[in-house]
């Protein structure tokens, strides 16, 4: 099994399509591009249900580039949504913020 991360720019293609047909054209274009980049038959490219829902919600109105995960297994490509794991950012602790205020109050006494 082989995994690839692919970014597909859909703006150039969808800007020439009528608004009412963009969703279906978007799905077809995605399948064609993934098939071309992975050298797989377009009939063997399957789109994950979560990505399909995302296309209907987000990419029907906006034309931002989409990044997808593609896993290739025995000549079949499965396209799923790419989820970037955000680095855990620690929020400043409330106790650390209050300490200088406490020290200033004690200094006044």
- Mean pLDDT value across residues 52-81: 80
In the prediction, which pLDDT does 27 show?
Answer: 86
Ordered domains of the chain (ranges, CATH):
2-84 (3.10.440.10)
Paired tokens of 68 = 């997808």
pLDDT of 103 > 70? The answer is no
Q: Find, among 97, 67, 71, the residue nearest to 4 by Cα.
A: 71
Paired tokens of 95 = 């106790």
User: pTM score, two decimals?
Assistant: 0.66
Cα 6 from Cα 68, distance rounded (Å): 5
pLDDT of 87 > 50? The answer is no
Which runs of consecutive H residues, i.e. helices, occur in the chain?
11-14, 22-38, 49-54, 94-108
């Amino acid at each position: 099994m082989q995994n690839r991360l692919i970014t597909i720019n859909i703006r150039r293609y969808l800007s020439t399509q009528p608004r009412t047909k963009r969703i279906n054209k978007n799905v077809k274009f995605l399948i064609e591009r993934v098939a071309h980049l992975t050298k797989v038959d377009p009939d063997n490219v399957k789109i994950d249900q979560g990505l399909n829902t995302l296309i209907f919600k987000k990419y029907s109105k906006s034309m931002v580039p989409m990044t997808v995960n593609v896993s290739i297994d025995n000549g079949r490509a499965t396209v799923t949504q790419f989820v970037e794991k955000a680095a855990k950012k620690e929020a400043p602790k409330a106790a650390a913020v209050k300490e200088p205020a406490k020290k200033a109050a004690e200094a006044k006494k």
